[in-house]
Protein backbone atom coordinates (compact mmCIF):
# COMPACT_ATOMS: atom_id res chain seq x y z
CA UNK A 1 0.00 0.00 0.00
CA UNK A 2 2.86 2.36 0.91
CA UNK A 3 4.54 1.53 -2.41
CA UNK A 4 1.34 2.51 -4.29
CA UNK A 5 1.16 5.84 -2.43
CA UNK A 6 4.81 6.58 -3.20
CA UNK A 7 4.32 5.79 -6.89
CA UNK A 8 1.17 7.96 -7.01
CA UNK A 9 2.98 10.88 -5.37
CA UNK A 10 5.91 10.54 -7.78
CA UNK A 11 3.54 10.56 -10.77
CA UNK A 12 1.71 13.67 -9.52
CA UNK A 13 5.04 15.44 -8.90
CA UNK A 14 6.26 14.57 -12.39
CA UNK A 15 3.07 15.91 -13.97
CA UNK A 16 3.34 19.12 -11.94
CA UNK A 17 6.92 19.71 -13.10
CA UNK A 18 5.91 19.01 -16.71
CA UNK A 19 3.04 21.49 -16.45
CA UNK A 20 5.30 24.21 -15.04
CA UNK A 21 7.88 23.54 -17.76
CA UNK A 22 5.21 23.99 -20.43
CA UNK A 23 4.08 27.32 -19.01
CA UNK A 24 5.52 30.77 -18.45
CA UNK A 25 4.39 33.41 -16.01
CA UNK A 26 3.17 36.79 -17.20
CA UNK A 27 2.42 39.50 -14.65
CA UNK A 28 1.77 42.40 -17.00
CA UNK A 29 -1.97 41.89 -17.59
CA UNK A 30 -4.18 43.16 -14.76
CA UNK A 31 -6.97 40.98 -13.44
CA UNK A 32 -10.61 42.01 -13.61
CA UNK A 33 -10.28 43.64 -10.18
CA UNK A 34 -7.70 46.02 -11.68
CA UNK A 35 -4.83 44.52 -9.73
CA UNK A 36 -1.87 42.88 -11.40
CA UNK A 37 -2.43 39.17 -11.64
CA UNK A 38 0.00 36.32 -12.18
CA UNK A 39 -1.25 34.01 -14.92
CA UNK A 40 0.13 30.86 -16.46
CA UNK A 41 0.62 31.09 -20.21
CA UNK A 42 1.13 27.93 -22.21
CA UNK A 43 4.19 27.91 -24.44
CA UNK A 44 3.25 28.08 -28.12
CA UNK A 45 5.25 27.88 -31.31
CA UNK A 46 4.95 30.55 -33.98
CA UNK A 47 2.81 28.28 -36.19
CA UNK A 48 0.34 27.76 -33.35
CA UNK A 49 -0.42 31.45 -32.85
CA UNK A 50 -3.34 33.53 -34.07
CA UNK A 51 -2.48 37.24 -33.98
CA UNK A 52 -4.52 40.37 -34.65
CA UNK A 53 -2.85 43.52 -36.03
CA UNK A 54 -4.48 46.96 -35.94
CA UNK A 55 -2.76 49.53 -38.20
CA UNK A 56 -3.69 53.21 -37.83
CA UNK A 57 -3.82 53.78 -41.60
CA UNK A 58 -2.61 52.09 -44.77
CA UNK A 59 -2.72 55.39 -46.68
CA UNK A 60 0.72 56.26 -45.31
CA UNK A 61 3.72 54.45 -46.92
CA UNK A 62 5.40 54.30 -43.51
CA UNK A 63 2.66 52.10 -42.05
CA UNK A 64 2.37 50.10 -45.28
CA UNK A 65 6.04 49.18 -44.86
CA UNK A 66 5.42 48.15 -41.24
CA UNK A 67 2.35 46.13 -42.21
CA UNK A 68 4.13 44.35 -45.08
CA UNK A 69 7.04 43.38 -42.84
CA UNK A 70 4.69 41.85 -40.27
CA UNK A 71 2.82 39.92 -42.98
CA UNK A 72 6.04 38.65 -44.53
CA UNK A 73 7.48 37.46 -41.23
CA UNK A 74 4.20 35.82 -40.19
CA UNK A 75 4.01 33.99 -43.53
CA UNK A 76 7.56 32.74 -43.10
CA UNK A 77 6.73 31.44 -39.59
CA UNK A 78 3.30 30.06 -40.61
CA UNK A 79 1.57 32.31 -38.08
CA UNK A 80 -2.13 33.04 -38.59
CA UNK A 81 -2.52 36.79 -38.99
CA UNK A 82 -5.51 39.10 -39.33
CA UNK A 83 -4.83 42.75 -40.16
CA UNK A 84 -7.30 45.64 -39.84
CA UNK A 85 -6.98 49.21 -41.09
CA UNK A 86 -8.36 51.86 -38.70
CA UNK A 87 -8.34 54.47 -41.50
CA UNK A 88 -7.01 57.04 -39.03
CA UNK A 89 -10.22 56.82 -36.99
CA UNK A 90 -10.06 55.96 -33.28
CA UNK A 91 -13.63 54.62 -33.14
CA UNK A 92 -12.91 52.27 -36.04
CA UNK A 93 -9.76 51.09 -34.30
CA UNK A 94 -11.68 50.36 -31.10
CA UNK A 95 -14.18 48.25 -33.08
CA UNK A 96 -11.36 46.40 -34.82
CA UNK A 97 -9.71 45.56 -31.50
CA UNK A 98 -13.03 44.40 -30.03
CA UNK A 99 -13.40 42.05 -33.01
CA UNK A 100 -9.97 40.58 -32.26
CA UNK A 101 -11.02 40.03 -28.65
CA UNK A 102 -14.18 38.23 -29.83
CA UNK A 103 -12.00 36.00 -32.02
CA UNK A 104 -9.95 35.11 -28.92
CA UNK A 105 -6.63 35.82 -30.63
CA UNK A 106 -3.37 34.98 -28.86
CA UNK A 107 -2.00 38.52 -29.07
CA UNK A 108 -2.86 41.93 -30.53
CA UNK A 109 -0.34 44.29 -32.15
CA UNK A 110 -1.65 47.87 -32.16
CA UNK A 111 -0.35 50.93 -33.97
CA UNK A 112 -2.55 53.56 -32.25
CA UNK A 113 -4.32 56.33 -34.14
CA UNK A 114 -4.28 58.37 -30.93
CA UNK A 115 -2.42 57.58 -27.72
CA UNK A 116 -5.29 58.73 -25.49
CA UNK A 117 -8.20 57.39 -27.54
CA UNK A 118 -6.63 53.91 -27.69
CA UNK A 119 -6.76 53.49 -23.88
CA UNK A 120 -10.29 51.93 -23.71
CA UNK A 121 -9.23 49.40 -26.36
CA UNK A 122 -6.06 48.53 -24.44
CA UNK A 123 -8.04 48.10 -21.22
CA UNK A 124 -10.56 45.85 -22.98
CA UNK A 125 -7.69 43.67 -24.20
CA UNK A 126 -6.26 43.62 -20.67
CA UNK A 127 -9.59 42.44 -19.27
CA UNK A 128 -9.63 39.66 -21.84
CA UNK A 129 -6.15 38.63 -20.61
CA UNK A 130 -4.63 38.93 -24.08
CA UNK A 131 -1.10 40.35 -24.41
CA UNK A 132 -0.99 43.59 -26.39
CA UNK A 133 2.00 45.25 -28.06
CA UNK A 134 2.07 48.91 -29.11
CA UNK A 135 3.90 49.79 -32.33
CA UNK A 136 5.43 53.15 -33.32
CA UNK A 137 3.12 55.05 -30.94
CA UNK A 138 2.53 54.38 -27.26
CA UNK A 139 -0.67 54.25 -25.22
CA UNK A 140 -1.36 56.70 -22.37
CA UNK A 141 -3.17 54.11 -20.29
CA UNK A 142 -3.87 50.41 -19.90
CA UNK A 143 -1.06 47.86 -19.83
CA UNK A 144 1.01 46.83 -22.83
CA UNK A 145 3.53 44.00 -22.92
CA UNK A 146 5.97 46.35 -24.67
CA UNK A 147 6.08 49.42 -26.89
CA UNK A 148 8.20 48.99 -30.02
CA UNK A 149 9.11 52.35 -31.52
CA UNK A 150 11.83 54.75 -32.50
CA UNK A 151 12.86 57.19 -29.80
CA UNK A 152 10.70 60.04 -31.05
CA UNK A 153 12.11 62.58 -28.60
CA UNK A 154 15.59 61.75 -29.91
CA UNK A 155 14.31 62.03 -33.50
CA UNK A 156 12.94 65.52 -32.85
CA UNK A 157 16.18 66.53 -31.17
CA UNK A 158 18.20 65.16 -34.10
CA UNK A 159 16.04 67.17 -36.53
CA UNK A 160 16.75 70.42 -34.68
CA UNK A 161 20.48 69.64 -34.73
CA UNK A 162 20.25 68.97 -38.47
CA UNK A 163 18.62 72.38 -39.04
CA UNK A 164 21.50 74.11 -37.27
CA UNK A 165 24.11 71.96 -39.02
CA UNK A 166 22.74 72.30 -42.56
CA UNK A 167 21.16 75.79 -42.48
CA UNK A 168 22.90 77.72 -39.70
CA UNK A 169 22.43 79.36 -36.31
CA UNK A 170 19.50 81.59 -35.34
CA UNK A 171 17.45 80.15 -38.19
CA UNK A 172 13.78 81.13 -38.51
CA UNK A 173 11.71 77.91 -38.59
CA UNK A 174 8.11 76.86 -39.22
CA UNK A 175 6.93 73.59 -37.65
CA UNK A 176 4.25 71.23 -38.97
CA UNK A 177 3.08 68.97 -36.15
CA UNK A 178 1.26 65.65 -36.50
CA UNK A 179 -2.07 64.30 -35.28
CA UNK A 180 -2.97 66.01 -31.99
CA UNK A 181 -2.77 63.55 -29.10
CA UNK A 182 -0.57 60.99 -30.86
CA UNK A 183 2.51 60.13 -28.80
CA UNK A 184 4.73 60.64 -31.86
CA UNK A 185 3.40 64.20 -32.21
CA UNK A 186 4.03 64.99 -28.55
CA UNK A 187 7.47 63.38 -28.38
CA UNK A 188 8.83 64.69 -31.68
CA UNK A 189 7.60 68.16 -30.81
CA UNK A 190 9.16 67.95 -27.36
CA UNK A 191 12.53 66.82 -28.73
CA UNK A 192 12.60 69.42 -31.50
CA UNK A 193 11.38 72.39 -29.47
CA UNK A 194 13.63 71.75 -26.47
CA UNK A 195 16.70 71.35 -28.67
CA UNK A 196 15.71 74.34 -30.83
CA UNK A 197 15.60 76.48 -27.69
CA UNK A 198 19.04 75.22 -26.64
CA UNK A 199 20.50 75.89 -30.09
CA UNK A 200 18.82 79.28 -30.46
CA UNK A 201 16.57 78.38 -33.39
CA UNK A 202 13.64 80.77 -33.79
CA UNK A 203 10.33 78.87 -34.22
CA UNK A 204 7.98 81.38 -35.81
CA UNK A 205 4.85 79.18 -35.77
CA UNK A 206 3.75 75.59 -35.18
CA UNK A 207 0.54 74.17 -36.69
CA UNK A 208 -0.94 70.69 -36.99
CA UNK A 209 -1.15 69.07 -40.43
CA UNK A 210 -2.26 65.65 -39.11
CA UNK A 211 0.68 63.72 -40.60
CA UNK A 212 -1.02 64.17 -43.99
CA UNK A 213 0.62 65.31 -47.26
CA UNK A 214 -2.25 67.36 -48.67
CA UNK A 215 -2.88 69.01 -45.31
CA UNK A 216 0.84 69.71 -45.08
CA UNK A 217 0.75 71.46 -48.45
CA UNK A 218 -2.28 73.60 -47.56
CA UNK A 219 -1.03 74.44 -44.06
CA UNK A 220 2.39 75.46 -45.40
CA UNK A 221 0.79 77.72 -48.02
CA UNK A 222 -1.17 79.50 -45.28
CA UNK A 223 1.86 79.79 -42.99
CA UNK A 224 4.03 81.25 -45.75
CA UNK A 225 1.51 84.06 -46.22
CA UNK A 226 2.28 85.26 -42.68
CA UNK A 227 6.00 84.44 -42.56
CA UNK A 228 7.87 85.66 -45.63
CA UNK A 229 11.30 85.46 -44.01
CA UNK A 230 11.25 81.77 -42.99
CA UNK A 231 14.49 79.86 -43.67
CA UNK A 232 13.55 76.29 -42.71
CA UNK A 233 10.49 74.10 -42.25
CA UNK A 234 10.45 71.14 -39.90
CA UNK A 235 7.64 68.63 -40.50
CA UNK A 236 7.11 65.88 -37.95
CA UNK A 237 6.80 63.27 -40.70
CA UNK A 238 7.85 62.93 -44.32
CA UNK A 239 4.33 63.00 -45.73
CA UNK A 240 3.82 66.53 -44.39
CA UNK A 241 7.34 67.47 -45.47
CA UNK A 242 6.67 66.33 -49.05
CA UNK A 243 3.46 68.36 -49.10
CA UNK A 244 5.34 71.33 -47.69
CA UNK A 245 7.98 70.98 -50.42
CA UNK A 246 5.29 71.41 -53.10
CA UNK A 247 4.03 74.57 -51.40
CA UNK A 248 7.56 75.99 -51.21
CA UNK A 249 8.21 75.16 -54.88
CA UNK A 250 4.99 76.94 -55.86
CA UNK A 251 5.99 80.02 -53.82
CA UNK A 252 9.37 80.30 -55.54
CA UNK A 253 11.11 80.69 -52.17
CA UNK A 254 14.29 78.94 -51.15
CA UNK A 255 13.54 77.17 -47.86
CA UNK A 256 15.25 74.14 -46.31
CA UNK A 257 12.80 71.33 -45.48
CA UNK A 258 13.29 68.62 -42.88
CA UNK A 259 11.13 65.57 -42.10
CA UNK A 260 11.07 62.40 -40.07
CA UNK A 261 10.52 58.83 -41.38
CA UNK A 262 12.88 58.21 -44.27
CA UNK A 263 10.45 56.94 -46.91
CA UNK A 264 11.85 56.28 -50.38
CA UNK A 265 10.14 59.29 -51.98
CA UNK A 266 11.89 61.52 -49.45
CA UNK A 267 15.27 60.12 -50.50
CA UNK A 268 14.38 61.04 -54.09
CA UNK A 269 13.37 64.56 -52.97
CA UNK A 270 16.68 65.01 -51.13
CA UNK A 271 18.54 63.92 -54.27
CA UNK A 272 16.50 66.39 -56.32
CA UNK A 273 17.15 69.18 -53.81
CA UNK A 274 13.47 69.80 -52.96
CA UNK A 275 14.05 68.49 -49.43
CA UNK A 276 17.10 68.96 -47.25
CA UNK A 277 17.11 66.04 -44.82
CA UNK A 278 15.04 63.53 -42.89
CA UNK A 279 15.46 61.50 -39.74
CA UNK A 280 15.05 57.97 -41.08
CA UNK A 281 13.18 55.42 -39.02
CA UNK A 282 12.84 51.72 -39.75
CA UNK A 283 9.09 50.90 -39.86
CA UNK A 284 9.68 47.40 -41.23
CA UNK A 285 12.06 46.75 -38.35
CA UNK A 286 9.46 47.99 -35.86
CA UNK A 287 6.91 45.53 -37.25
CA UNK A 288 9.36 42.64 -37.16
CA UNK A 289 10.50 43.45 -33.63
CA UNK A 290 6.89 43.62 -32.41
CA UNK A 291 6.06 40.23 -33.90
CA UNK A 292 9.29 38.75 -32.54
CA UNK A 293 8.38 40.04 -29.07
CA UNK A 294 5.12 38.09 -29.37
CA UNK A 295 7.00 34.92 -30.29
CA UNK A 296 9.44 35.46 -27.41
CA UNK A 297 6.59 35.98 -24.95
CA UNK A 298 5.06 32.63 -25.87
CA UNK A 299 8.46 31.01 -25.36
CA UNK A 300 8.64 32.33 -21.81
CA UNK A 301 11.32 34.92 -22.51
CA UNK A 302 11.53 38.20 -20.61
CA UNK A 303 10.25 41.14 -22.68
CA UNK A 304 11.55 44.68 -22.15
CA UNK A 305 8.83 47.28 -21.54
CA UNK A 306 10.30 49.44 -24.33
CA UNK A 307 12.07 48.21 -27.48
CA UNK A 308 13.78 50.98 -29.45
CA UNK A 309 14.28 50.87 -33.21
CA UNK A 310 17.29 52.77 -34.66
CA UNK A 311 17.10 56.22 -36.33
CA UNK A 312 19.51 57.94 -38.76
CA UNK A 313 20.05 61.40 -40.24
CA UNK A 314 19.77 61.26 -44.03
CA UNK A 315 20.96 64.19 -46.15
CA UNK A 316 22.57 64.62 -49.57
CA UNK A 317 25.81 63.01 -48.33
CA UNK A 318 24.25 59.63 -47.47
CA UNK A 319 20.96 59.74 -49.37
CA UNK A 320 21.35 56.21 -50.74
CA UNK A 321 21.48 54.72 -47.24
CA UNK A 322 18.76 53.68 -44.76
CA UNK A 323 16.01 53.23 -47.35
CA UNK A 324 12.88 51.21 -46.67
Mean pLDDT across the stretch 126-139? 96
Tell whether the model's pLDDT for residue 207 goes beyond 90. Answer: yes
pTM for the model: 0.78
How many CB atoms are located within 10 Å of the residue 238 CB?
32
Banded pLDDT at 250 (limits 50, 70, 90): very high
Q: Hey, what domains does the chain have and what are their CATH numbers? A: 46-150+283-309 (3.40.50.2300), 152-280 (3.40.50.2300)
Tell whether the model's pLDDT for residue 145 goes beyond 80. Answer: yes
Mean pLDDT across the stretch 170-187? 95
pLDDT of res. 323:
80
Share of residues in the chain with pLDDT > 70 (%):
88
Q: What is the CA radius of gyration of the chain?
A: 23
Tell whether the model's pLDDT for residue 235 goes beyond 90. Answer: yes
* Residue of 55, 141, 52, 139 lying closest to 101 (CA atoms): 52
pLDDT of res. 40:
67
Q: Which residue has the higher pLDDT, 29 or 71?
A: 71
Q: CB of 21 within 8 A of CB of 111?
A: no
**pLDDT per position as a tens digit, 5-63:** 333 334 333 333 333 333 334 434 443 334 444 456 789 999 999 999 999 999 999 99
Angle at 301 (CA atoms; ends 299, 303), nearest 5 degrees: 125
3-state class (DSSP) for residue 259: strand
Mean pLDDT across the stretch 253-282? 96
DSSP for 198-253? Answer: HHT-EEEEEEE-TT-HHHHHHHHHHHHHH-TT--EEEESSHHHHHHHHHHHHHHT-
Q: Can you tell me the distance from the alpha carbon of 12 to that of 6, in angstroms, rounded to the nearest whole number?
A: 10
Task: Give me the long-range contacts of 313-318 (CB less than 8 A, separation at least 24).
Answer: 313/158, 313/162, 313/277, 313/278, 313/279, 313/280, 314/262, 314/266, 314/267, 314/270, 314/277, 314/278, 314/279, 314/280, 315/162, 315/166, 315/270, 315/276, 315/277, 316/270, 316/271, 316/273
Helix intervals (H) in 47-137: 61-77, 90-102, 119-127
pLDDT of res. 23:
38
Q: Can you tell me the distance from the alpha carbon of 229 to that of 221, in angstroms, rounded to the nearest whole number?
A: 14
Bridge-based pairing state of the strands 80-85 and 107-110: unpaired
* Residue of 260, 122, 249 lying closest to 188 (CA atoms): 260
Tell whether the model's pLDDT for residue 230 goes beyond 50. Answer: yes
pLDDT of res. 276:
98
Tell whether the model's pLDDT for residue 313 goes beyond 90. Answer: yes
Amino acid sequence: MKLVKKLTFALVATLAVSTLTACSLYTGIPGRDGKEKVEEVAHKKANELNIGVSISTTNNPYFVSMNNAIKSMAKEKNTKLTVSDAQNDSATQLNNVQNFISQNVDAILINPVDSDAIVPAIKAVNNAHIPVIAMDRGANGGTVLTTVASDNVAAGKMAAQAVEKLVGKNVKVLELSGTPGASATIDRGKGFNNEAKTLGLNILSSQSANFDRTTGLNTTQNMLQSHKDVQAIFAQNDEMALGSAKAVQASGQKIAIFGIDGESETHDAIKAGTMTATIAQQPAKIGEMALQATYDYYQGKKISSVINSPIYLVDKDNVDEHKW
